[in-house]
């Protein structure tokens, strides 16, 4: 299978793991050794970015007017290392120590620097903050795709940042011409 880094995984309705039901995952790394991605459509119900910044002791004074410019949801990025943070963002911010270019218009940063710069109003123009990630061992993701657990589509800033979280799953399916109403809740082999 070709390198899927920078692509989106779309969970099929038959996904047996409830943590991944109706998930859209941006793949941040993919090789023979395994894969890593961040779920982009599952906001955590009780955590906002301002609260996270307070917990990380990023001063309120650095956030501008009441932190409103930087407030937003913090997403459930996946079940692995749920206390580890990731920021998916536009390429107008890049840190040599903590950023990874995923595509021409998407970057993943894992250093505190991006959050500090966001609090100062100097961060990326578009960003999605997540805690945790989804991970697969060698050939595990390929087997799940082959078994019909995931569809793959191109990622874009619009897909990651341009839709409300509750709409991203159907928007990703729409981008590859799949009507979610026609998908079966079970998988099989022809």
Q: Which class would CATH give 7-182?
A: alpha beta
pLDDT digits (tens, 9 = 90+) for 117-173: 888 888 899 999 999 999 999 999 999 999 999 999 999 999 999 999 999 999 999
Do 142 and 94 form a contact (C-beta atoms < 8 A)? no
Distance CA 167, CA 173 (A): 10
| pLDDT tens figures, 11-39 | 999 888 999 999 999 999 999 999 999 99
> Which residues fall within 8 angstroms of residue 173, CB to CB, at 6 or more apart?
10, 151, 179, 180, 183
- What element of type H or E holds 153? strand 150-154
d(CA 157, CA 19): 24
pTM: 0.90
> Which run of H or E residues covers position 152?
strand 150-154
Predicted pLDDT at 184: 62
* Pairing status of strand 127-137 against strand 34-39: antiparallel
């Amino acid at each position: 299978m070709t390198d899927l880094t920078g692509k989106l995984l779309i969970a099929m309705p038959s996904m047996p793991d409830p943590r991944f039901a109706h998930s859209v995952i941006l793949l941040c790394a993919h090789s023979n050794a395994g894969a890593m991605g961040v779920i982009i459509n599952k906001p955590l119900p009780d955590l906002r970015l301002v609260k996270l910044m307070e917990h990380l002791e990023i001063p309120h004074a650095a956030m501008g007017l009441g932190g409103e410019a930087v407030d937003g949801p913090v997403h459930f990025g996946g079940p692995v290392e749920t206390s580890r943070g990731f920021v998916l963002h536009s390429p107008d911010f890049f840190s040599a120590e903590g950023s990874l270019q995923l595509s021409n218009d998407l970057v993943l940063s894992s250093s505190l620097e991006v959050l500090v710069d966001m609090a100062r109003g100097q961060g990326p123009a578009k960003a999605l903050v997540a805690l945790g990630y989804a991970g697969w061992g060698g050939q595990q993701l390929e087997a799940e795709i082959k078994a019909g657990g995931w569809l793959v589509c191109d990622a874009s800033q619009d897909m990651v940042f341009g839709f409300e979280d509750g709409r991203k799953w159907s928007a990703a399916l729409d981008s590859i011409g799949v009507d979610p109403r026609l998908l079966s809740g079970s998988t099989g082999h022809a």
